[in-house]
């Protein structure tokens, strides 16, 4: 499916990251314009800058959509999320391992029903877009049709999405187990069907070390060699009990991360969820290999897993790439604004201050760099894909009141990341199409391909 052939321009206040605010002064990494123009052709941004400088370059026929009271930013990037867990978000009273047994595995067993997978994928994509998220790295279930359902729905919106079938061949209910060979074969078929089709990208997805044998982890490493540009996603050092369990299951390995490294799973397109209990050697391994971490603060707080040491991870002496994940259902919201609110608090509890520019970096350009996709997504710049979020700092009466006392763009961004949620998303554009419009009467979602139902 191709992006639209027509041109469009978005006008209004705009902000985008141009550098890494964990390595440079934050203000130097933020490009802003009080009255900007984002020019889009065939789903690609062709110009970005002040309206006054660009207006005379526009063809007379181009459609200009004006957002004078909003803020145009790149679409958000969710580096770690489980779409099958939507039905058990907010489940009460358990830490990670008990929570998996009590809530997660039963929820994922319901995905044996392909129609159920389609219903949840339909809702999940729309809730991402409602939250301004235009790219996500997504866990499906062990069932191949859960992947088909997700990618088919993403394709209807022409969205840049990364996903994969979960691999589990032990320590889970029998109904959710595959084998090393079957997991390999089913994943390879999904790779051939979806990887590089439109804007879809595939991620090899062993759930986490305790639910895969050595043979399955080795098979996952072999899968990564079958096609160029494949991704790897799994979990790492989320919970102390989990870390101890891995140590018991893999006594020959030097660390939890070493389990994955031994299987060939640690590399430039590897995304490890959580990483709460990493040591310095792990950070060094991630830095040297180019592997990334997904910071999931709402989940880590909700499940009592611990406090991710963000500022240790991004230490300029050996920086590790970090994206921002909602996790859901361990996390409590698909909104990256709400996730940044909790990220600020986690940073404060570890003795640091996460400023608004750093926060929006994690949710946009930083997430794109963590995925190795910074040339395609994560910023407003000529040549990048036109995935854009339009934010409303006055979305509620309280936010409107508070915004009146903001004297800088940094204050406004901080307002959005502490008081904002999906209500603060005015519109979402994917490949230049306005796929979500809060103000549209009736259904606010406009997929590129209408439903066949």
**pLDDT tens digits for range 197-240:** 999 999 999 999 999 999 999 999 999 999 999 999 999 999 99
DSSP H/E element including 407:
none
Can you give the C-alpha Rg of the chain in angstroms?
Answer: 21
Residue 118 has pLDDT above 50, yes or no: yes
| Residue 162 pLDDT > 70 | yes
Torsion of CA 362, 367, 372, 375, to 10 degrees: -90
Higher pLDDT, 127 or 93: 127
For CA atoms 46, 47, 51, 57, the dihedral sign is: negative
The answer to whether residue 249 scores a pLDDT higher than 90 is yes
pLDDT at 2 over 50: no
Is 55's pLDDT higher than 90?
yes
Averaged pLDDT, 163-191: 98
pLDDT value for 138: 98
- DSSP structure class, residue 327: B
Q: What is the pLDDT of residues 72-89, one digit of tens each?
A: 999 999 999 999 999 999
pLDDT for residue 451:
61
The answer to whether residues 291 and 268 touch, using CB atoms and an 8 Å cutoff, is yes
pLDDT surpasses 90 at 316: yes
> What mean pLDDT do residues 148-160 have?
98
* Residue-range domain boundaries for the chain: 7-74+379-437, 76-370
Q: Is the pLDDT assigned to residue 348 strictly greater than 60?
A: yes
Domain 76-370: what homologous superfamily? Metal-dependent hydrolases (3.20.20.140)
- CB crowding 303-320: b at 16 or more within 10 Å, else e: bebbbbbbeebbeeeeeb
Q: Please report, for residues 99, 257, 302, 314, the alpha-carbon distance to residue 308 in angstroms, rounded to integers and kept in the order given.
A: 20, 16, 13, 11
Write down the pTM of the prediction: 0.97
What's the pLDDT at 123?
98
Nearest C-alpha neighbor of 168 from the set 226, 116, 235, 110: 235
Give me the count of residues in the chain: 453
- For residues 17 and 21, what is the distance between their CA atoms, to the nearest angstrom? 9
Higher pLDDT, 13 or 453: 13
User: By CB neighbour count within 10 A (0-12 exposed, 13-18 middle, 19+ buried), where does 184 fall?
Assistant: buried
In 3-state terms, what secondary structure has residue 190?
helix
Q: What percent of the chain has pLDDT over 90?
A: 95
Q: Is the pLDDT of residue 47 over 70?
A: yes
pLDDT at 94: 82
Mean pLDDT for 357-381 is 98
Q: Which pLDDT tens digit goes with each residue over 214-225?
A: 999 999 999 999
pLDDT digits 0-9 by tens, 397-452: 999 999 999 999 999 999 999 999 999 999 999 999 999 999 999 999 999 876 65
For position 427, what pLDDT does the model report? 98
- 30-41 and 44-50 as β-strands: parallel, antiparallel, unpaired? antiparallel
DSSP string covering 6-45:
SEEEEEEEEEEE-S-TTTS-GGGGEEEEEEEEEEEETTEE
Read off the pLDDT band of 6 (50, 70, 90).
low
What is the share, in percent, of the chain residues with pLDDT greater than 70? 98
Mean pLDDT of 93-109: 92
Q: How far is residue 178 CA from its own chain's centroid?
A: 26
What average pLDDT does the chain have?
Answer: 96
CA–CA gap between residue 89 and residue 91 (Å, rounded): 6
Give me the CATH code for the 7-74+379-437 domain, please. 2.30.40.10
Q: Residue 4 pLDDT > 80, yes or no?
A: no
């Amino acid at each position: 499916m191709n992006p639209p052939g027509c041109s469009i321009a978005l006008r209004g206040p705009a902000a985008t990251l141009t550098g890494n605010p964990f390595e440079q002064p934050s203000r130097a990494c933020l490009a802003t314009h009080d009255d900007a123009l984002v020019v889009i052709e065939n789903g690609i941004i062709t110009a970005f800058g002040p309206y006054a400088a660009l207006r005379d370059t526009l063809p007379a026929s181009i459609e200009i959509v004006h957002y004078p009271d909003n803020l145009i930013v790149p679409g958000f990037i969710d580096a770690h999320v489980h779409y099958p867990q939507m039905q058990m978000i907010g489940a009460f009273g358990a830490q990670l391992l008990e929570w998996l047994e009590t809530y997660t595995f039963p929820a994922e067993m319901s995905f044996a029903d392909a129609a159920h997978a389609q219903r949840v994928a339909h809702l999940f994509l729309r809730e991402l877009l409602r939250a301004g998220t235009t790219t996500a790295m997504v866990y499906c279930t062990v069932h191949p049709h859960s992947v088909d359902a997700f990618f088919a729905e993403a394709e209807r919106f022409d969205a840049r999405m990364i996903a994969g079938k979960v691999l589990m061949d032990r320590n889970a209910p029998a109904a959710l187990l595959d084998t090393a060979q079957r997991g390999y074969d089913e994943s390879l078929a999904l790779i051939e069907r979806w990887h590089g089709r439109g804007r879809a990208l595939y991620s090899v997805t062993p759930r986490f070390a305790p639910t895969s044998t050595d043979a399955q982890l080795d098979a996952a490493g072999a899968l990564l060699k079958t096609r160029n540009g494949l991704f790897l996603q799994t979990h790492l050092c989320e919970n102390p009990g989990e870390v101890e369990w891995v140590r018991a299951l893999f006594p020959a390995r030097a660390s939890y991360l070493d389990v994955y490294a031994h299987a060939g799973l640690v590399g430039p397109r590897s995304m490890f969820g959580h990483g709460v209990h990493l040591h310095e050697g792990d950070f060094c391994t991630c830095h040297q290999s180019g592997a990334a971490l997904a910071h999931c603060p709402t989940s880590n707080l909700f499940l009592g897993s611990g406090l991710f040491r963000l500022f240790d991870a991004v230490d300029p002496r050996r920086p590790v790439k970090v994206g921002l994940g909602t996790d859901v259902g361990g996390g409590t919201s698909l909104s990256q604004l709400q996730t940044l609110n909790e990220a600020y608090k986690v940073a404060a509890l570890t003795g640091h201050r996460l400023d608004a520019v750093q926060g929006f970096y994690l949710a946009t350009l930083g997430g794109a760099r963590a995925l190795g996709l910074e040339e395609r997504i994560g910023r407003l710049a000529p040549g990048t894909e036109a995935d854009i979020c339009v934010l409303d700092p006055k979305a509620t009466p309280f936010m409107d009141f508070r915004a009146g006392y903001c004297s800088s763009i940094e204050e406004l961004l901080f307002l959005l990341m502490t008081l904002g949620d999906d209500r603060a998303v005015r519109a979402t554009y994917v490949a230049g199409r306005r796929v979500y419009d809060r103000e549209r009467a009736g259904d606010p979602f406009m997929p590129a391909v209408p439903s066949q139902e």
